[in-house]
Homo-oligomer: A and B are copies of this chain.
Amino acid sequence: MTEAPISTQDTPQPAARRRSPDTAERILDAAEEYFGRKGYAGTTLRDVADQVGIRIPSLYNHFPNKAALYSAVLERGISPVLALLSRSIQGDETEPTEAMDPKATVRAVMQWLALRPSLPRLIQYELLAGGEQLAPLLSDWLEPAMNQGLAMMETTPGVERWRSQEIPFLVMALFNIVIGHFTTSALTQSLSPTPPLSEEGIEAAAHLYGQLVEALLQDAPTSPRPY
A128 within 8 A of B: yes
Contact status of A188 and B209, CB under 8 A, knowing A125-B128, A128-B124, A221-B215: no
A90 within 8 A of B: no
Q: How far apart sit A104 and B127, CA to CA, in the bound complex (Å)?
A: 28
| A127 CB contacts on chain B under 8 angstroms | 183-184, 186-187
Q: Which of the residues B146, B190, B208, B221 comes within 8 Å of A169, measured between beta carbons?
A: B208
In the complex, are the beta carbons of A207 and B227 less than 8 A apart?
Answer: yes
How many copies of the chain does the oligomer comprise?
4
In the complex, are the beta carbons of B41 and A191 less than 8 A apart?
Answer: no
Q: Which of the residues B38, B173, B196, B223 comes within 8 Å of A209, measured between beta carbons?
A: B173
A57 within 8 A of B: no
Question: What 1/0 flags go to A112-139 for Cβ under 8 Å of B?
Answer: 0000000001001101111100110011
| A187 CB contacts on chain B under 8 angstroms | 127, 131, 134-135, 138, 142, 172
In the complex, are the beta carbons of A204 and B166 less than 8 A apart?
Answer: yes
- Beta-carbon nearest neighbor of A174 in chain B: B177
In the complex, are the beta carbons of A180 and B191 less than 8 A apart?
Answer: no
In the complex, are the beta carbons of B179 and A180 less than 8 A apart?
Answer: yes
Q: How far apart sit A128 and B35, CA to CA, in the bound complex (Å)?
A: 11
Contact status of A223 and B196, CB under 8 A, knowing A41-B38, A42-B39: no
| A10 CB contacts on chain B under 8 angstroms | none
A8 within 8 A of B: no
Smallest beta-carbon distance A218→chain B, Å: 7
Q: How far apart sit A166 and B207, CA to CA, in the bound complex (Å)?
A: 10
In the complex, are the beta carbons of A176 and B184 less than 8 A apart?
Answer: yes
7 A-B residue pairs with CB within 8 Å = A125-B128, A165-B193, A171-B191, A173-B181, A176-B179, A207-B225, A214-B223
